[in-house]
Amino acid sequence: MTVALKKPHKSARKPKGDGHLRRGEILAAAERIFIAEGYAGATIRKIADAVGVSSTALYMHFRDKDQILLEISDDAIGQLLAVNVDIAHRPIDAVARVRLMLEAYMKFALDNPNTYQLVFCGSRDVISKEKQAATAELGDRCFAEFSGPIHEIAASGRLRTGSGESAAQVLWAACHGLVALLITMPDRNWAPREELMKVTLDGLLHGLVTD
Amino acid sequence: MTVALKKPHKSARKPKGDGHLRRGEILAAAERIFIAEGYAGATIRKIADAVGVSSTALYMHFRDKDQILLEISDDAIGQLLAVNVDIAHRPIDAVARVRLMLEAYMKFALDNPNTYQLVFCGSRDVISKEKQAATAELGDRCFAEFSGPIHEIAASGRLRTGSGESAAQVLWAACHGLVALLITMPDRNWAPREELMKVTLDGLLHGLVTD
DNA sequence: CCCGACACTAAACGGGAATCACCCAAACGT
DNA sequence: ACGTTTGGGTGATTCCCGTTTAGTGTCGGG
């Protein structure tokens, strides 16, 4: 950002070198390492080495390590949000939309396990809440998008129990729990993933929504 | 007697308790700090200071940091297992037993958030799987105890969908997801916890089990 | 009286994040 | 043409962390 071209007359001095490129390079390298080795494995020094720059240089472009990784996560979550928005606009039954969103959510988590863990399993130890600002806001918008059809269902009186809000939270939590366990304990002998997802969704939707 | 004061020792040294007391003292101090400050906050040096001993001394009694914290967690999970065993033997309907166990599970998680996170949310980054041996085995036995009544239900043909195994895993995962989110994102505006637990259990049990 | 075992320690190591005090050269104003 | 800015960069340093090494003082036997 802050891309301003040089103006013949007064005002600021501008892009001298390839400063902005650096930022992108860092993000790219960091993403590669983070995906491959997770939060703890994505060291400042390792990222800097991969870019071919000293570790100090990263602090020219990012406040701290968390900002780098959260920026990467923002990208990924932005994609998830886009999918949710897309689904939200389809002219199909609200329950079907809910199911599609949750399926997309779980697929996202399983496809991006490290990002998912960083954003949704990050203990307060690891990342202080303030830093998450942007990422958290994206997450909120995802949840808001997801809450939409749920509240439609609630408004039409098809909710068997609880409020729309609690139903949305419970559905989210159940899917989160499933993918979180699959990610953090991949060696347990799980039933096939598709079956687990299907049972979760069938079970909860059948249990919460009257048809 | 013989309070060896030879060297101008920094601060009061422990008055020579017999060796095997030390181990218990360390565990007690570690538990206190771990509960208050979590995994990252429970530093070797901090624990050692609390006991009044040098950090090196901890390695006389424990292989490494993880062994200390996992031993603490074993204690806690042992209690959960005891509760599950107790419930398993009650002469009540299998579904009621399942519900009681899951309620106890969630209560345990919310009462011991740091332990819960360590054992059930520990990314592979944080603790290598081998070290978890004892703890993981306790967790397995908890799950086995929980699977019992589920398989009873499955055997009596009351399962609406999926296998007994997948139903057990899904129920566990859903409850895990709920408490995990409540623990790691305590600032979101959640519906009341009791309602969330109730909706989760009502929804899933109603959706999975025919009455 | 010495000897080894024990419980413990200070110091150090390697590696993390982050900061400091600089440096270098291109870009600008004049 | 030339000093000055200033953006991008660095190496050394700080402060923790978990863990290791090389000891040190005390003790119970032989």
Contact A174 B169 (CB under 8 A): no
Q: Residue A58 pLDDT > 60, yes or no?
A: yes
Query: What was the pLDDT predicted at A104?
Result: 98
Query: What was the pLDDT predicted at B19?
Result: 61
The answer, for A175 touching chain B at a CB cutoff of 8 Å, is yes
- Between B166 and A18, the more confident residue is B166
Is the C-beta atom of B14 closer than 7 angstroms to strand D?
A: no
**Which residue has 């940091």 as its token pair?**
B65
Burial class (CB in 10 A: 0-12, 13-18, 19+), A105: buried
Cα distances (angstroms) measured from residue A151 to each of A167, B129, B178, B196: 9, 42, 20, 16
Which DSSP string do the residues of A70-120 spell out, in sequence order? Answer: HHHHHHHHHHHHHHHHHHHTSSS-HHHHHHHHHHHHHHHHHHSHHHHHHHH
**Which residue has 């998830």 as its token pair?**
A80
Query: What was the pLDDT predicted at A18?
Result: 65
Q: Residue B1 pLDDT > 90, yes or no?
A: no
**Which residue has 């501008």 as its token pair?**
A14
Contact B14, B52 (CB under 8 A): yes
Structure tokens at B70: 């996992």
Chain A residues in contact with B151 by the CB 8 A cut-off are none
Dihedral angle, C-alpha A172, B203, A194, A110, nearest 10 °: 20
Q: What is the mean pLDDT of residues B180-196?
A: 95
The answer, for B123 touching chain A at a CB cutoff of 8 Å, is yes
Work out the angle at residue B142's Cα, subtended by the Cα atoms of residues A173 and B74, and round it to the nearest 5 degrees.
100
Q: What is the mean pLDDT of residues A138-154?
A: 96
Is the C-beta atom of A10 closer than 7 angstroms to strand D?
A: no
Tens digits of residue pLDDT in B138-167 = 999 999 999 999 999 999 999 999 899 999
Q: Residue B124 pLDDT > 90, yes or no?
A: no
Which residues lie across from A209 on neighbouring strands? A159
Q: What is the mean pLDDT of residues B183-188?
A: 92
What is the Cα–Cα distance from A200 to A185, expressed in whole angstroms?
A: 18
% residues pLDDT > 90 (chain B):
80
pLDDT-based confidence at residue B198 (cuts at 50, 70, 90): very high
Structure tokens at B12: 């009061």
Query: What was the pLDDT predicted at B90?
Result: 97
Q: What is the pTM of this model?
A: 0.90
What is the Cα–Cα distance from B22 to B5, expressed in whole angstroms?
A: 21
Dihedral angle, C-alpha B54, B59, B65, B67, nearest 10 °: -140
Tens digits of residue pLDDT in A105-114 = 999 999 999 9
Contact B41, B33 (CB under 8 A): yes
Contact A146, B174 (CB under 8 A): no
Q: Which of residues 17-76 of A touch strand C (CB under 7 A)?
A: 17, 42-46, 55-56, 59, 64-66
Query: Nearest nt to B1, CA vs C1'?
Result: D26
Q: Residue B192 pLDDT > 70, yes or no?
A: yes
Contact A74, A134 (CB under 8 A): yes
Is the C-beta atom of B19 closer than 7 angstroms to strand C?
A: yes
Query: What was the pLDDT predicted at A211?
Result: 79
Q: Residue B136 pLDDT > 90, yes or no?
A: no
Q: What is the mean pLDDT of residues A134-161?
A: 94
Contact A122 B169 (CB under 8 A): no
Query: What was the pLDDT predicted at B8?
Result: 37
% residues pLDDT > 90 (chain A):
81
Q: Residue B2 pLDDT > 50, yes or no?
A: no
- Which letter, b or e, does each residue of A140-167 get, where b requires 16 or more Cβ atoms within 10 Å of its Cβ? ebbbebbbbbbbbbbeeeebebbebbbb
What is the Cα–Cα distance from A136 to B113, expressed in whole angstroms?
A: 21
Handedness of CA A69, A70, A73, A74 (dihedral sign): negative
**Which residue has 């983070």 as its token pair?**
A34
For all residues of chain B together, what is the average pLDDT? Answer: 89
| CB-closest option in B124, B160, B184 to A122 | B184
3-state secondary structure of A209: strand
Tens digits of residue pLDDT in A117-127 = 999 998 667 77
Q: Taking each helix axis as running N to C, give the angle between helix A193-208 and helix A94-111, from 0 to 180 degrees, rounded to the nearest 10.
A: 150
Q: Residue B14 pLDDT > 70, yes or no?
A: no
The answer, for A195 touching chain B at a CB cutoff of 8 Å, is yes
Q: Residue B11 pLDDT > 80, yes or no?
A: no
Structure tokens at A143: 């949840």
| CB-closest option in B40, B165, B178 to A173 | B178
Which residues lie across from B159 on neighbouring strands? B209
Structure tokens at B42: 């429970």
Contact B117, B42 (CB under 8 A): no
3-state secondary structure of B78: helix
What is the Cα–Cα distance from B38 to A26, expressed in whole angstroms?
A: 31
% residues pLDDT > 70 (chain A):
90
- Which letter, b or e, does each residue of A39-49 get, where b requires 16 or more Cβ atoms within 10 Å of its Cβ? beebebebbbe
Q: What is the mean pLDDT of residues A72-94?
A: 96
The answer, for B166 touching chain A at a CB cutoff of 8 Å, is yes
What is the Cα–Cα distance from B110 to B193, expressed in whole angstroms?
A: 10
